[in-house]
């Protein structure tokens, strides 16, 4: 049971970028007294922690089934994805808004703004590189679907979480640059605090969207309708089958699906033949769709 390698590539690229960016932002904030830069530093630290949590969640989700969790641990990734959304909201957005309000109430004059611009430019290049990797991998995975539709239907949270985080980070860099510039041009350092508040509100919006998607996966979402129809067609081709009453699918991980079938069989076939047919069907379904990890077929004789 493996996770898609593109997810790990996206996470490692984002982690490497954010660790370097966080250090640079904190140094710049200490040298210049910029609230927006300090906020951006917090943002990068939270992003780094988020990537570590998602990597941890991926590793934990790969554990095989046992007597306590007969369907495996795939949903643990969804749990950690939800935790990441909470961290973005409480830590990233909360600290940004709090720091911004403090700076608006008690503004600190800007010092050495050139350092801020240099750090912002370097950060933009690193974030842009990470964002480009996330966009390329997610774009390849989404196929012909629209971007938002692909996010809603995706069962692999790291792929779209990093994309959302990087997009918010790039937006935040431009806002921070705008706040610093307005502070210099107007001589009013409160603009730097306003930029922090705007960054915090953007992070809060991202966090709410991610929490909503992660919650749906954690509760349990079905497989794509196309897969259910293909499974229905494959089972209906068996001569012993006269109908399918119900198909239930639930994602228990990005590439792990539980499948339940209620099947009508011809009465003329003996129980032994039905048992063989069920075993053959399970083997065929797993061979054609490796993501189907657990199969439950409930036989029901034709009335």
Computed on alpha carbons and rounded to an integer, the radius of gyration of the chain in Å comes to 25
Coil, strand, or helix at residue 289?
A: coil
146-195 pLDDT, tens per residue? 777 777 778 888 878 888 888 888 998 899 899 889 988 888 889 988 99
Rounded to whole angstroms, the Cα distance separating 278 from 259 reads 13
User: pLDDT band at 303, cuts 50/70/90?
Assistant: low
66-78 pLDDT, tens per residue? 888 888 888 888 9
Residue 186 tokens, joined: 């107007």
Q: 183 near 192, Cβ under 8 Å?
A: yes
- pLDDT value for 1: 44
Q: 237 vs 9, which has greater pLDDT?
A: 237
- Those residues with Cβ within 8 angstroms of residue 296's Cβ, 6 or more apart along the chain or in another chain: 258, 259, 260, 261
Residue 244: phi, psi to the nearest 5?
Answer: -120, 120
Please tell me the least confidently modeled range out of 142-156, 204-218, 250-264.
142-156
What pTM did the predictor assign? 0.78
- H helix runs in 88-186, sequence order: 94-105, 113-142, 147-153, 157-186
């Amino acid at each position: 049971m493996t996770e898609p390698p593109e997810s790990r590539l996206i996470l490692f690229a984002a982690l490497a970028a954010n660790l370097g960016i966080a250090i640079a932002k904190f140094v710049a904030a200490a040298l210049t007294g910029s609230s927006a830069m300090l906020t951006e530093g917090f943002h990068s630290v939270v992003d780094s922690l988020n990537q570590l949590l998602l990597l941890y969640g991926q590793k934990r989700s790969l554990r095989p089934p046992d007597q306590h969790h007969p369907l495996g641990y795939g949903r643990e990734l969804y749990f950690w994805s939800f935790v990441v959304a909470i961290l973005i909201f409480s830590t990233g957005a909360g600290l940004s808004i709090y720091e911004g309000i403090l700076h608006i109430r008690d503004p600190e004059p800007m010092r050495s703004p050139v350092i801020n611009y240099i750090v912002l430019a370097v950060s933009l290049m690193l974030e842009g590189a990470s964002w480009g990797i996330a966009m390329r991998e997610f774009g390849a995975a989404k196929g012909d679907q629209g971007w938002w539709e692909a996010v809603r239907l995706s069962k692999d949270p790291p792929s779209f979480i990093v994309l959302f985080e990087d997009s918010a980070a790039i937006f935040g860099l431009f806002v921070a640059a705008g706040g610093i510039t307005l502070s210099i041009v107007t001589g009013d350092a409160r603009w730097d605090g306003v930029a922090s508040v705007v960054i915090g509100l953007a992070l809060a919006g991202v966090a709410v969207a991610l929490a909503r998607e992660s919650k749906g996966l954690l509760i349990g979402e079905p497989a794509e309708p196309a897969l259910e129809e293909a499974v229905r067609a494959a089972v209906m081709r068996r001569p012993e089958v006269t109908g399918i009453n119900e198909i239930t699918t639930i994602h228990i991980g990005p590439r792990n699906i539980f499948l339940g079938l209620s099947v009508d069989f011809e009465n003329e076939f003996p129980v032994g033949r039905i048992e063989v047919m069920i075993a053959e069907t399970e083997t065929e379904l797993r061979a054609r769709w490796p993501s189907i990890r657990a199969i439950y077929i409930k036989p029901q004789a034709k009335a």
